[in-house]
Each structure stands twice: as C-alpha cells, then as structure tokens.
C-alpha cells in the first residue's frame, strides 16, 4: 500500500490579530509539508460570526503573504476540498452529523448554562473532577420529545465511552494514551443549531484528508475527544504534534500585554519576516550549529524527528531582536531600502523621491547600528533634516577653546571636501600640528554634519550628504564656534 501524501493545515479563526503562536503553528506546518513534498492547506475557521474580527480573513492572508508562507490549497487558490471557509461548509457538517445520529452516538442535552455551572461548582466543592453527569442521556424518548415540543433549547452531545483507552502518535511524546474515564460527553452543536469548533474542526480534517495535525498543547483535550469521532467514522488517526505554548520570561502564557504577542506589533516595530520565522523555527529546537538561517536552510535543518517534549517555550524578545539585527546586516541592500522606506516616510515624506539605490547606499553605512527597521528614522534623521545647533550644543561636546581652533583649522581645507580622503587626511595633519586630538576634530565635524559626535566615518557622511550640503552644514557650525 502506498504512503498517503503528507497534508498539513493551518486553521486560524479570524477573531483577532495573528499572534506568535499562530505564526509558529503556520510555520511548522509549512516546513513539514515542504520537507515531505506534501500539501500545506489554509482553512479559515470562521463559524463564530459574532467575534469575526477579520471578515474574509483578509488580514490573515496578508500576514501569511508578508511572512512568505505560501499555502497550496485555500482561500483564493481553491483546491479539491473547497470551500476553505467553515462558514461555507455547513452542508458537510450536517451530512456527517446525520451519520452520528444513525449510530446513536449523540443525544440532546437540555441543561442550561446555569444548571451546568451549579453542578460544576458542587463537584469542585466535593473535590471531584468537573464532568457532565449525563443527566439528559437518562431521559426517555417521551420526555425528550416533550421538551422539544415545548421549544426548550438544547445542544447535541457526543457520547464518550465510559471505559477503555485510545492511543495517538505524537511527534514529540511518541505514544500518548487517553483513558476515556477522564473525559465527559462534549457538545458538538450550540443551542442555535450551529456546530462547535470541536466537531467542525474534526469534519474538516477528515474531509481534507489531513495526515498531520500540528497545534498547541492547549488542544490536547480536543484531540482526545476527536479520536472518538475518528473511530465512529472508521478512519485512521492523523499524526499529531501538540506544540509547546509560548510563554513570557516569567513562564506565563503570552498575552496582549507582552510586546511581540501580536505579529502586527513586531511588523510595526520593524522586525523582518525572515527574522521572525527564523527565530520561531529555532526556539525550543535544541542547539543549532548556525542560528541565522534562510527559509531553504530551515527546510534542510529543522528536524521533526527530534522534537523537545517541553510543554512551554520562553519567548525572549532580546534573542528575537538579536536575530533581527543579524538579518539586517546580511539583507540585500535594495530589498532593505524598500523595507525601510515606509518607516522613513512617516516622518520624511521626501524619501519617496529618493532613488532606492541612494537609499540603499545610505543604509549600508548605518545598518550595523540597527536592531529594528523602526530605528532607521533616528539613524537617518540627519540626512533628511540638517541639525540646528547652538553654541551650548557645541561646547557640551568640545571645550570652547578647542572648538574655536578646529573652526579656524577647517576653513582653508573646505575647498578640497569633494575629495573626501584628501580632505580628511589634511584635517588630521593640521590638527596634529595644532595638538588637537583627532577624536575632538572628528566629533566637531560629525556634530556639524549630523548633530551628534558619534556616527559613521567622515568620508561616508560627506558621501551621503553630498559636498555642497556638507560644506553648508560645516559652515553653519563654524559661525557659532
């Protein structure tokens, strides 16, 4: 018998912004599918219309495109198991539900939320595990029919075997066994007749022939219940990976209060998509001989045969920032310029008139100082806005007497500034004769050119600004010296 084609899926709900847990799930499903020449499916679980934050999943699609996580089947691409929005798959859920009815595997539950909560509180008070007591399963047919006739709201519950076990294959843990005595009958519909996540999610995985399900550790209970459904449909179980939860440095589950929880946070802060994927692929994956890896290198390196069994992974924004800095350093110059341009445009609209090659050259001189793209606005402020310095600014960096000497020393050499190397050499020689420290000389020139004493080389600054602009800025400082 031939081995079935590997099929993974990413199934987000459009109820909020994409967060790092979502991104890591999408990335790992993508990498596994690509490693096995399989199919990566995108499915949108949008049955909760009241909480639908992202109609049409437009933000999800945009985020995946930005991350360059290309799916093979899904919205906008179609595929043999379309549609790929749960809200458009109701007929299929009804069909599969009828199969459960025929097997007498479900029953109506008329218990109200208030009744269920009281039962739960009582069980907890008695130090019993909170489970549904199957009160409605004991109803005879006439009682059930009477309640339906009265219009009493109900949900359909799945009967979970009261005895026995079932085993799944988990990539991290190997064989995992569930004992059914630890689980209670679960609702598979809501009172309005719509289907719950647990059932719709199962039906979609069944219909789309998903062979590998990678999702968070918090879905372990769902997996246990869904194994019953796979049995009822006489279908082999997928292979699972219950991925560790991302936690903050205190060991608590990441939340909106943690910077970087939202992908949008990181994008607006200037983190590169390659860096985000690189970071999420290596955390919790043991040691790597090389940590900075391209997509192709990740595909060749990430080993799904050796996965950590940890239940949580600490998200370290400092490590992510370090990875981002490494990517900035090695990024293609023109591509980096294009990514930085939007950040610069928020403060310097004129950047859109700047040739991308000139911008790329500018960035090459300051990129070693950048940890995020957002910092480019400060790093290149001097290029778009000439410094406005006072005498107080000058003497805060350089002693007044020395500043006066440097000003006099520079004036006769300004005519040679178009030959940067000659200009810098002559200044150094003249300063040496006057016993002016080179450090103070260069601090003065940088102050004139960019408004601060530390920064790129004088040669690079003159090249970036152009000789005329450089001369005008130096002359302005000379006037107040």
Per-residue pLDDT at 2 exceeds 70: no
Mean pLDDT of the chain: 94
Cβ 403 vs Cβ 302: under 8 Å: no
pLDDT for 252 equals 85
Prediction pTM value:
0.91
Which CATH number is associated with domain 7-75+197-248? 3.40.50.620
User: Closest Cα partner for 311 from 281, 284, 279?
Assistant: 284
Compute CA distances 460 → 71, 298, 387, whole Å.
44, 36, 17
Query: In this structure, are residues 225 and 160 in contact, taking their beta carbons and an 8 Å threshold?
Result: yes
For residue 411, name the pLDDT band (cuts at 50, 70, 90): very high
Q: What is the mean pLDDT of residues 148-157?
A: 97
Residue 210 has which token pair?
């998903």
Q: Has residue 223 got a pLDDT over 80?
A: yes
- Predicted local distance difference test score (pLDDT) of residue 419: 94
Range scoring the smallest mean pLDDT among 84-98, 203-217, 451-465: 451-465
What pLDDT score was predicted for residue 256?
Answer: 78
Domain segments of the chain as ranges:
7-75+197-248, 95-187, 386-479
Strands, E assignment, 132-179:
155-158, 165-170, 174-179
CATH of 386-479, one of 1.10.10.10, 1.10.10.350, 3.40.50.10330, 3.40.640.10: 1.10.10.350
Examine residue 117 and say whether the peptide bond preceding it is cis (omega within 30 degrees of 0): no
CATH class of 95-187: alpha beta
**Closest C-alpha to 153, from 121, 117, 194:** 194
| pLDDT score of 46 more than 80 | yes
Q: Which residue in this structure is represented by tokens 């292979």?
A: 239
- Average of pLDDT values for 229-248? 95
Sheet containing 106-109: order of strands = 106-109, 155-158, 186-187
| Chain centre distance of CA 201 | 23
Strand, coil or helix: 446: helix
Q: Please report the pLDDT score of residue 1 as a whole number.
A: 53
Residue 192's pLDDT band (boundaries 50, 70, 90)? very high
pLDDT tens-digit map of 424-458: 999 999 999 999 999 999 999 999 999 999 989 99
pLDDT 10s digits, 118-136 = 999 999 999 888 999 999 9
- pLDDT at site 323: 98
Q: Which of 121, 113, 119 is nearest to 155 (CA)?
A: 113
Q: What is the mean pLDDT of residues 208-223?
A: 94
pLDDT of residue 481: 87
């Amino acid at each position: 018998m031939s081995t079935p084609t590997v099929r993974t899926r990413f199934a987000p709900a459009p109820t909020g912004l994409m967060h790092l847990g979502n991104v890591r799930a999408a990335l790992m499903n993508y990498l596994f599918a690509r490693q096995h020449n399989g199919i990566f499916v995108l499915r949108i679980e949008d049955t909760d219309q009241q909480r639908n934050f992202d109609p049409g999943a437009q933000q999800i699609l945009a985020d995946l495109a930005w991350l360059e996580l290309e799916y093979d089947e899904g919205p906008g691409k179609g595929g043999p198991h379309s549609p790929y929005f749960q809200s458009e798959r109701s007929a299929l859920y009804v069909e599969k539900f009828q199969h459960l009815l025929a097997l007498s595997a479900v029953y109506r539950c008329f218990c109200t939320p208030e009744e269920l909560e009281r039962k739960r509180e009582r069980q907890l008070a008695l130090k019993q595990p909170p489970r549904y007591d199957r009160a409605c399963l004991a109803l005879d047919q006439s009682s059930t029919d009477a309640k339906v006739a009265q219009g009493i709201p109900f949900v359909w519950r799945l009967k979970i075997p009261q005895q026995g076990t079932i085993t799944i294959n988990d990539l991290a843990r190997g064989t995992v066994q569930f004992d059914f005595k630890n689980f209670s009958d679960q609702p598979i519909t809501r009172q309005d007749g719509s289907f719950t996540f647990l059932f719709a999610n199962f039906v979609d995985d069944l219909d789309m022939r998903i062979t590998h399900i990678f999702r968070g550790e918090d879905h372990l209970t769902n997996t246990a219940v869904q194994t019953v459904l796979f049995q009822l449909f006489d279908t082999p179980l997928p292979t699972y990976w219950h991925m560790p939860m991302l936690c903050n440095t205190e060991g608590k589950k990441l939340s909106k209060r943690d910077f970087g929880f939202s992908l949008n946070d990181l994008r607006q802060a200037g983190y590169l998509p390659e860096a985000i994927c690189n970071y999420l692929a290596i955390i919790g994956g043991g040691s790597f001989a090389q940590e900075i890896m391209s997509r192709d290198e990740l595909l060749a390196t990430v080993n799904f045969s050796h996965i950590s069994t940890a239940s949580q992974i600490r998200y370290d924004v400092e490590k992510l920032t370090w990875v981002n800095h490494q990517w900035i350093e090695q990024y293609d110059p023109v591509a980096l310029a294009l990514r930085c341009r939007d950040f610069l445009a928020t403060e310097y609209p004129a950047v859109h008139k700047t040739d991308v090659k000139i911008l790329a050259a500018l960035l090459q001189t300051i990129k070693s100082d950048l940890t995020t793209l957002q910092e480019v606005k400060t790093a290149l402020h001097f290029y778009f806005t000439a410094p406005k310095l006072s005498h107080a600014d000058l003497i805060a960096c350089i002693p007044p007497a020395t500043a006066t000497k440097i000003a006099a020393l520079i004036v006769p050499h300004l005519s040679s500034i178009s030959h940067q190397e000659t200009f810098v050499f002559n200044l150094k020689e003249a300063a040496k004769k006057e016993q002016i420290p080179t450090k103070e000389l260069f601090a003065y020139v940088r102050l004139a050119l960019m408004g601060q004493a530390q920064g790129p080389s004088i040669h690079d600054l003159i090249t970036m600004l152009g000789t005329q602009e450089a001369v005008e800025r130096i002359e302005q400082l000379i006037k107040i010296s």
